[in-house]
Amino acid sequence: MQKLIKDGAIVDNTYSLVNDAEQVISENSIVPMQQWIENADTLGKVAGIWIDAGEGVEALENQDLSQLDVVAVNFPAFADGRGFSYGRLVRERLGFKGEVRAIGNFIPDQLGYLLRCGFSAFDFEQDVNLEKALELHKPFSVAYQGDVADPRPVFLRRG
């Protein structure tokens, strides 16, 4: 079973990502966002949805996300920053409390930034050493700007 980093630990990935229309969908499936929105009545219970780069999160504003365990965000390239914005919007604007998972082509060096944007799980490509990536799983000790955990900038956090 494939592994991932979730909440600071290496764990089994119990969900399967659906990226093919022919793939069987179950309660452990993470389906494309548009497929879930357009077919929510016929899909039944799924574990979550995944958002592709360029889709945005606006289509989720009137959806009930509390029924989902996971909202995954796809990074098509490590230099594509849209996923960072999507993660933060899912947490702050949509108020999603479940797992926000990074999928696709991102690198371990980005973990600190992803944590600041509200990501809690990281499904790396198979060639990434998860033990080494886990060493980078920590937020910055001091950051000027606020983040999803504490939106205050540093000058408001000073005692």
- The per-residue pLDDT for 159 is 73
Mind listing the pLDDT tens digit for each residue in 129-141?
A: 999 999 988 777 8
- The per-residue pLDDT for 141 is 81
Question: What angle (nearest 5°) sits at the alpha carbon of residue 128, between those of residues 12 and 20?
Answer: 65
Give the pairing of strands 70-75 and 48-51. parallel
pLDDT range class, residue 87, cuts 50, 70, 90? very high
| Of residues 1 and 77, more confidently modeled | 77
Domain positions in the chain are 3-156
Measured in degrees and rounded to the nearest 5, phi and psi for residue 33 equal -55, -50
Mind listing the pLDDT tens digit for each residue in 21-68?
A: 788 899 999 999 999 999 988 988 999 999 999 999 999 999 999 999
Say if pTM beats, i.e. exceeds, 0.85: yes
Burial 51-86 (b: 16+ CB within 10 A, else e): bbbebebeebeebebeebebbbbbbeeeeeebbbeb
Give the mean model confidence (pLDDT) for residues 82-90.
97
Q: At residue 40, what is the residue type?
A: A
CATH fold label, 3-156: Rossmann fold (3.40.50)
| Residue 50 neighbours by CB distance under 10 Å | 23
* Average pLDDT for the chain: 93
- The per-residue pLDDT for 40 is 84
Distance between CA atoms of residues 151 and 30, nearest Å:
30
Range with the poorest average pLDDT among 30-39, 43-52, 111-120, 148-157: 148-157
